[in-house]
């Protein structure tokens, strides 16, 4: 009986020592999970960074390019209508309402016609 207990004690001691040298499945799974989570966090950070840059570009658009685009968007017929209404003596607010344009677009269209030199040329 003593030999049997001694044998079990020796076997348990041997298995205990061997357990330190064996790789744990949980450890490898934990490492893989950490790697995946780090990779996910890095990709998430990069996407957020790119999104922030895009939002800044959209919010801080070049004002000159917006003026240029607004001039290009106005149809030539509407431009001629705005100019003729201006020379008929209509106010810019009335012109904007009649032509369905914003006040800034009307001002942009009429800008070359509001200079003093142009008015002197128009006097007969």
For the segment 6-26, what is each residue's pLDDT rounded down to a tens digit?
999 999 999 999 888 877 778
Q: How confident is the model at residue 119 (pLDDT cuts 50, 70, 90)?
A: low
Q: For the chain, what are the domain ranges?
A: 25-60, 63-122
pLDDT tens, residue by residue, 45-98: 999 999 988 888 888 765 555 555 554 566 888 888 999 999 998 998 999 888
DSSP assigned state of 22: S
Calculate what percentage of the chain has a pLDDT beyond 70: 81
Q: How far is Cα 100 from Cα 81, in angstroms, rounded to an integer?
A: 11
Length of the chain: 124
pTM of the model: 0.37
Is 70 within 8 Å of 105 (Cβ atoms)? Answer: yes
Summarize the confidence of residues 20-35 as an average pLDDT.
85
């Amino acid at each position: 009986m003593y030999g049997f207990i001694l044998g079990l004690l020796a076997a348990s001691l041997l298995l205990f020592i061997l357990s330190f040298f064996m790789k744990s499945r949980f450890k490898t799974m934990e490492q893989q999970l950490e790697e995946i989570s780090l990779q996910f966090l890095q990709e998430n950070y990069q996407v957020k960074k790119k999104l922030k840059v895009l939002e800044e570009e959209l919010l801080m658009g070049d004002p000159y390019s917006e003026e240029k685009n607004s001039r290009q968007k106005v149809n030539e017929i509407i431009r001629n209508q705005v100019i003729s209404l201006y020379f008929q003596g209509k106010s810019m607010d009335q012109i904007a309402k009649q032509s369905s344009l914003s006040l800034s677009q009307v001002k942009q269209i009429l800008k070359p016609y509001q200079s003093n030199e142009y008015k002197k040329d128009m006097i007969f």
